[in-house]
A and B are shown apart, each in its own frame.
Chain A
Amino acid sequence: MTAFPLTSAFLIGSRRSLRLVERNLFVYKHGWLVLLSGFFEPLFYLLSIGFGLGALIGTIPGPNGQPIPYQLFVAPALLASSAMNGAVMESTFNFFFKLNYNKTFTSILSTPLSPGDVATGELTWALIRGGLYALGFMGVMVVLGLVVSPWVIFAVPAALLVGFAFGAVGMAATSFMKTWQDFDLVQLVILPLFLFSATFYPLETYPEPLQVIVQLTPLYQGVDLIRSLTVGAISPILLFHVAYLLVMGFAGLYVVSRRLDKLLLQ
């Protein structure tokens, strides 16, 4: 049995992947209001939990143990989790529709584009979208006086990295899904990640063994990375977070391309 050679152009794509970004621009031209939702979600959380609950909590130990205002503690975590949520939405529901109903990818693969172009192009679009939200949220943090360290400018690329990792894995998971009901499973994974990744309280709240488990989960990498950058607590562990998310993203991309090959090119 011969198969298409799994070159990097086949799996990761080429400059042609930008055509997929162009397609999304065409689609959202018809309904750009939808795009705003992603900006408001973390903002509402920040106002309600950060400032509402924060008023009762006061300060809380930050990444390097120093007490910081609760809003400053929770804002970077919201940035990380909204990067995750945005990427997962785009890479699950939207990707499933395009793969199974609109047959978008089927028609694209009869042009010179490869599965890698499709996967990378879709992910690039999700990242552009996520990047805009991250910038918007950063603007809000500036306005609310939550900027205390120059390292915070790396929080935006860090949010993109979170989007890359979750977007790629989201697409990979979606490529195995058969029905819309399967998406309940996505919520079953995403919601606990959102709630328990030291998002709203410090890692030390957990008993020792649980701490280890949480430290190995994917969103925790993003939360700790962005929070540390926001308060300027730079340490080697941040490199581990970056490596973790990069590996997760590229592994996801590899799986998506293989799956698109298996689903559409047999």
Chain B
Amino acid sequence: MTETLAAASAPEVGASPAPGPLIHARGLTKRFGELTAVDAIDFDVAPGESFGFLGPNGAGKTSAMRMIGCVSPMSAGTLQVLGMDPIADGPRIRARLGVVPQQDTLDTELTVRENLLLYGRYFGLSRAECAKRADELLDFAQLTERAGDQVEHMSGGMKRRLTIARSLINEPDLLLLDEPTTGLDPQARHLLWDRLYRLKQRGVTLVLTTHYMDEAEQLCDRLVVMDKAKIVAEGSPRELIERYSTREVTELRFAAGVQETLDGQLEGLAERIERLPDRVLLYADDGEAAVAAAHARGLEPETVLVRRSSLEDVFLRLTGRSLAD
């Protein structure tokens, strides 16, 4: 059944002539009174791409998404979505968007299937078409057996799946996902990732925000890291790791009280050294060599962990370790 969906949406993507960027933003700015939520950011999203906004809470990710979704007018800059102006062509752009908001906005007064049917009607689809797509999407979201249930009584994971299914009812060219898996258990997250990956394979352009590094690594071809309303880095997950971190990270934990006595003994062990309250991080391409060097200096950590660098290291380096809010 999902195959028919793919077949229906694929030609449309291929048919659009000479595809420019689906989203084109220059100096995009959002101010709320005194507060600048998004501060003159530039980015482009190409058709078929999976693009991520990564950043701590309050970095401006949701504000950026809302401007793209044409539900929030920008304060300054230029923004084009699907080649159109969100201010003048909001309804026409929204007709081709799928939106998964941060908080579920399912219609709790209706059943699972009715949520899909009615949402299709908002896009002006015929009742027959809505019914056909609703059944396909229920299947896609593994909710066919819950079709007649009231939304109110469903688990968080099911609601999230339904929200994603709902966002696909108009077969969007561009899918906007604001923290799609926040608050879900690992099973639900993996199922959702799988569903999103399938959409990506069908050529749907995904734009998502997240503060989960594993999610960004799983889903994003390219991402920008936002901090304090600005873009601080841009690239593929791999490029970002290469640019802002080392291949490996070595974590050394010392016995209580020892770490405070290490002043001057760590310098030169690695390209970059970070001292946290509970451990020392050595950023070096060869972690084992860093461990050997530490032992050679007579350091005796209680535990040693050598691991590959992840986006999380990049993220923490770029946005700092202090809490955003």
Interface residues, chain A, CB within 8 Å of chain B?
1-5, 9, 16, 19, 22-23, 26-27, 30, 102-104, 106-114, 264-266
Contacts and interface: CB of A to CB of B under 8 A. Distances in A.
B75 interface: yes
A29 to B, nearest CB: 9
Given A27-B110, A107-B105, A107-B106, A266 B32 contact: yes
A265 to B, nearest CB: 5
A16 B95 CA distance: 12
A110 B97 contact: yes
Contacts of B74: 2
Contact of A110 (B73, B94, B124): B94
A227 to B, nearest CB: 37
A111 B107 CA distance: 14
Q: Is the interface of A mostly helix, strand, loop or mixed?
A: loop
B229 interface: no
A106 B92 CA distance: 18
Contacts of A3: 73, 87
Contacts, number: 80
Contacts of B124: 16, 112
Contacts of B117: 26
Given A2-B74, A5-B88, A264-B71, A112 B107 contact: no
18 contacts: A1-B73, A2-B75, A3-B73, A3-B87, A16-B124, A19-B121, A22-B118, A23-B110, A23-B118, A103-B105, A106-B105, A107-B106, A107-B107, A110-B69, A111-B122, A112-B91, A113-B122, A266-B72
A19 B107 CA distance: 14
B65 to A, nearest CB: 11
B101 to A, nearest CB: 7
A235 to B, nearest CB: 45
Contacts of A266: 32, 72-73
The 10 tightest CB contacts between A and B, nearest first, are A107-B105, A111-B122, A103-B105, A112-B91, A110-B99, A112-B95, A27-B109, A2-B73, A106-B105, A3-B73
A111 B103 contact: no
B108 interface: yes
Contacts of B73: 1-4, 265-266
A170 to B, nearest CB: 20
A178 B92 CA distance: 33
